[in-house]
Amino acid sequence: MSSEDRPAPRAPGLTPTSFLAASALNTIHEALRTARTSQDGAGPEPARASSEQALAALLLLREVRDQLAGWEPGLIEEAREGGASWADLAHPLGVSSRQAAERRYLRVRPGNPGSTGEQRVRATRDRRAADRTVTAWARANAADLRQLAGQITALTDLPAAAHAPLAGLTAALAEDDAAALVGPLAVTHTHLASGHPDLAARVDDVVRHTDRLRRHSGDRRQGPPGPPEH
């Protein structure tokens, strides 16, 4: 199992929020079990509810359903932060694969006002596809990116405000993956513009090119959504 699929575990134990949710769910489960037992028993048939009682029960059912739906993404996040993989979550969520488990989380997770679950799923997949495109380009152009980063980190006349961006770029330069350089290079641009316009122009070229790659990746993915995963 990859490190991306299973996050680093933390100290065991439920948080107060997840503990309260679990306690409430157990109470609901026991109440439902009791109701089923009463219906299956041989006692007298309960009195028929009035229309007002039925309407009130429907309203309560909707409120409970909304509350339960709001708990689901939080409990999924608690499980993930506690070390559960998407494959571990598949069975409790009633799906058959890790991909479907993650898709369900993206669908029920709160998003931008007006966005649907499917739109959030698609936006996440589009962003990941764009990231993969940029990563592939950076790895193919690793020598040029490392040479540019090396020139920038060797500068000694940048203002104090550039110290943190330079430290970030230096750390990225030590990484094995050249894709780690893209973001830190972009952050240095404003500190290079006045004293080193040639380097600033090269950084700007990197930023513009990666932006184009992201846009083109999104354009290629336009089209009708695929069938739901099970």
What is the per-residue pLDDT across 165-210, written as a single tens digit (0 to 9) for each? 999 999 999 999 999 999 999 999 989 988 999 999 999 999 999 9
Residue type, position 146, single letter: R
pLDDT digits (tens, 9 = 90+) for 5-58: 544 344 334 444 556 666 777 777 777 777 666 555 555 555 566 788 778 878
Q: How many residues does the chain have?
A: 230
Query: Phi and psi (nearest 5°) for 191?
Result: -85, -10
Torsion of CA 148, 150, 156, 157, to 10 degrees: 10
Per-residue pLDDT at 1 exceeds 70: no
- Give me the pLDDT at residue 154, please: 96
The model's pTM: 0.50
| Domain boundaries of the chain, sorted by first residue | 16-38+53-110, 130-220
- Residues 6 or more apart in contact with residue 17 via CB below 8 angstroms: 74, 78
Residue 70: pLDDT band by 50, 70, 90 thresholds?
confident
Exposed, middle or buried, 222 (CB in 10 Å: 0-12/13-18/19+)?
Answer: exposed
Q: How many CA atoms lie within 13 A of 132 on its CB side?
A: 8
pLDDT higher than threshold 70 for residue 85: yes
pLDDT of residue 10: 41
> In the prediction, which pLDDT does 62 show?
81
* Residue type for position 143: A
Lowest mean pLDDT of 100-109, 189-198, 212-221, name the range.
212-221
Does 220 score more than 90 pLDDT? no
